[in-house]
Amino acid sequence: MIAPSDRTPLPREFFDRPVLEVAPDLLGRILVRTTPDGPIAVRLTEVEAYDGENDPGSHAYRGRTERNAVMFGPPGHVYVYFTYGMWHCMNLVCGPEGRAAGVLLRAGEIVEGAELARIRRRSARNDKELAKGPARLATALDVDRSLDGTDACATGETPIRALTGTPVPADRVSNGPRTGVAGDGGNGDIHPWRFWIADDPTVSPYRPHTPRRRR
């Protein structure tokens, strides 16, 4: 059950800041996905920052394309991409507009609508695995490319809404190299931009980038 005080919508100004400021501040916040069957809410426990055209790991690194266009738009909107031929992952766009920065939502704890999430996440062995990983999180929330561009800060009806939740104090936040990103994770990594709640059981395991073998 989510406390009423945790249900305050996050204002757009929240996202209209540098992505490295927003990313750790998102931990403990809540995202509500409204589906025809009912709401599914996740409390964010793990995120990654992607800093647009300056960041080789970002989809926006080589400029605007049809796929990543939303990241070049206003903050507070949802960027959804399709990957590995099967999965979707979701981001929240950060400001300022034109910067093309975003925060990948990597993991969280389902705090409402778990019975709905379990149906979509049939292979999950327990509830902690419902949203343990970016594609799992998107699957649990029934998010796909049709929701690309959704405004998570809009007033009125929205399929996805960001709520204040309860922010996590800085001394509870850990950070390290981003998962599965080419170029990240080596000695002297300049992108330790993965943030998670220390010791939280819903955080996904770290995995370095692995180039695909030829077949």
By the criterion CB under 7 A, which residues form the site for DNA? 48, 50, 57-60, 62, 65-68, 71, 79, 81-87, 89, 91, 102, 104, 121, 123-124, 129, 133-137, 178-182, 204, 207, 209-215
What's the closest the beta carbon of residue 4 comes to DNA, in angstroms?
Answer: 31
What's the closest the beta carbon of residue 103 comes to DNA, in angstroms?
Answer: 8
Give 100-144 as a DSSP string. Answer: -EEEEEEEEEEEE-HHHHHHH-TT-SSGGGTTBSHHHHHHHTT--
What's the closest the beta carbon of residue 62 comes to DNA, in angstroms?
Answer: 4
Q: Report in angstroms the alpha-carbon separations of 183 from 57, 178, 179, 180, 190.
A: 8, 10, 11, 9, 9
Q: Report in angstroms the alpha-carbon separations of 20 from 8, 15, 17, 30.
A: 23, 11, 8, 19
In the complex with DNA, which residue's Cβ is closer, 41 or 107?
Answer: 107
In the complex with DNA, which residue's Cβ is closer, 14 or 204?
Answer: 204
In the complex with DNA, which residue's Cβ is closer, 2 or 114?
Answer: 114
Strand partners, 108: 44
What's the closest the beta carbon of residue 39 comes to DNA, in angstroms?
Answer: 21
What's the closest the beta carbon of residue 76 comes to DNA, in angstroms?
Answer: 16
In the complex with DNA, which residue's Cβ is closer, 45 or 91?
Answer: 91
Dist. CA 27–CA 170, nearest whole Å: 10
In the complex with DNA, which residue's Cβ is closer, 45 or 68?
Answer: 68
In the complex with DNA, which residue's Cβ is closer, 155 or 212?
Answer: 212
Q: Verify cis geometry, omega within 30 degrees of 0, for the bond prior to 96.
A: yes
User: What backbone torsions phi and psi does residue 94 show, to the nearest 5 degrees?
Assistant: -110, 165
Contacts of 88 (CB under 8 A, 6+ apart): 80, 81, 82, 135, 138, 139, 143, 144, 145
What's the closest the beta carbon of residue 27 comes to DNA, in angstroms?
Answer: 16
**Six token digits for residue 129:** 């695995």
- For residue 115, the one-letter residue type is E
